[in-house]
Chains A and B, each alone.
Chain A
Amino acid sequence: MTDMANHDATTTPRPRHPAVEAFEMFTRNLSAIVGLVLLMLIILGAFLGPMLYPTDPFEMVWAPFTPPGQEGFLLGTDYLGRDLLAALLNGARVTLLVGASAALLSVCIGVTVGALSGYYSGFVEEALMRVTEFFQVLPTLLFCMVIVALFGTSLHMIVLAIGVVSWTGVARIARSEVMRIKQLEYVLAARASGATHSQIILFTILPNAMPPIIVQATLMVGSAILFEASLSFLGLTDPNVVSWGQVIGANRQYILDSSFAVTIPGLAIFVTVLAISLIGDGLNDALNPKLRRR
């Protein structure tokens, strides 16, 4: 009983920077750290792998359908006798780059639309909300397929297509954050001190709206990777570049002979997106002050 009394008296909270607190919270989250380590390994593999293992992923190197571990091929060969490990290492770069740049694009569009429609009322808000609603109604993947089919399958076009169809979620979050923050006292204070609308949005509101947007942006990278994988699985990708989805799409006719050529690249996509999801969840816990109190 007495030590409980002592405990009460000795805990005097020291104020710390919220970012420091969030960082500590994140590092204490085991699954988030696991995700981070996994993602680091995948990024290393993507950028160093092709140098350390210089086999050309398009070259026929051995008999088709060589199972993993045989004849010196760690992951085996595909239906054309191409080295799957080489395909995996080379495909990682495309997957990650397309995922990251498409996510960046969609976050940019989403934050812009969300911030403007949340900040302004009247015509601007109404118009932007209609546009958002419109993009919510389009079946995203189908629209992407149409764009890529009509305008070509270059990586740029794929990034553009994914970015253009997947920003509505970010916009929704940015909008609700901006609408919440614009009513707070410090925004009124900024307005009273004569700041322009763009100053208020860019320097007062957006920095404070960042936490949920950062979380969403992280998760967007994962979903953009899944998106790219679906497109390349369907064959709607640059035929001169290897990507994981493409390997699966090319080998899916032969799952009876060599299911590993389908399951292994799929596992790679799964692990990558899983790592990103774990990081996103960790960030969410760390940046969400409601949960931090627990």
Chain B
Amino acid sequence: MFSYILKRIAIAIPTLLVLIVISFVLMHAAPGGPFTAERELPPEVMANLNAKYGLDDPLWKQIGTYVWNIVSAFDFGPSFVYKDRTVNEIIAQGFPITLTYGLISFVLAVLVGVTLGVAAAIRHNSMLDYIAVGMSIGAQVLPNFVMAPILVLVFTLWLGWLPGGGWQGPEYWILPVIALSTSFMASIARITRSSMLEVLTSNHIRTARAKGLPERRVILRHALKPAMLPVISYLGPAFVAMITGSVVVDIYFSTGGIGKAFVDSALNRDYAVMMGVTILVGALTIFFNLVVDILYGWIDPKIRY
């Protein structure tokens, strides 16, 4: 198990480095330097800026400096547009907000999705099953950027129950969490249902039932664990998609999360912030995939270490 984890970490680190290098090279190859896009600056100012940000150095040295700053001090450097702010400050401001509703959404999607999927599988071909299947088809065509305006329309404008934007207390969390988690909930429910249906026909379940175990114990102790494997391998992609989706939530609900900073920097051509956010998200993704891999190895006895 230990060497398995080490092997996974050995893959994760080069992945992160590749991501950093790719995004740096992309930025460097962009037509026009970061400072030529907005307006003409006096050559002296350009030279100052270049010297300050190390843009005069050869490419390999810039990459080296950039990577070293991130690895050694977690320092993403100064913003290219705001003169008095660093990328770290911008990230630190938005990240906790995104993390809060992101985590709530993720946990909710997994809990409700798995429960719904298991219930649908146990009562196969019942009304509940059809509702679960119908919901998961519906949620496929209702991604977060469709859910968000519909939710605001119904719950804020028509019913007036919930605030449609801002970030001042738990009642502001509800709509973002629903908008973000619904499609994942549906996907998890669908995956759980089909995998549970498959597991329930397997031999060890028949044995457990033949032993006379109560149904609850059969499901919870014997069926749930193997049925979770496809769900766990879905969690990695789901996590990426959720982080991506949080950009929409941040924009539409004005939650002030990190997605807002990302889109603003995209509109301002503030490459430093964009790269910082991209690398942070990449690092989170890689870390999360690592956790999923380890979890998978722990649950699936067939996996070779």
| Chain A partners chain B | no
Interface residues of B (CB under 8 A from A): none
Interface residues of A (CB under 8 A from B): none
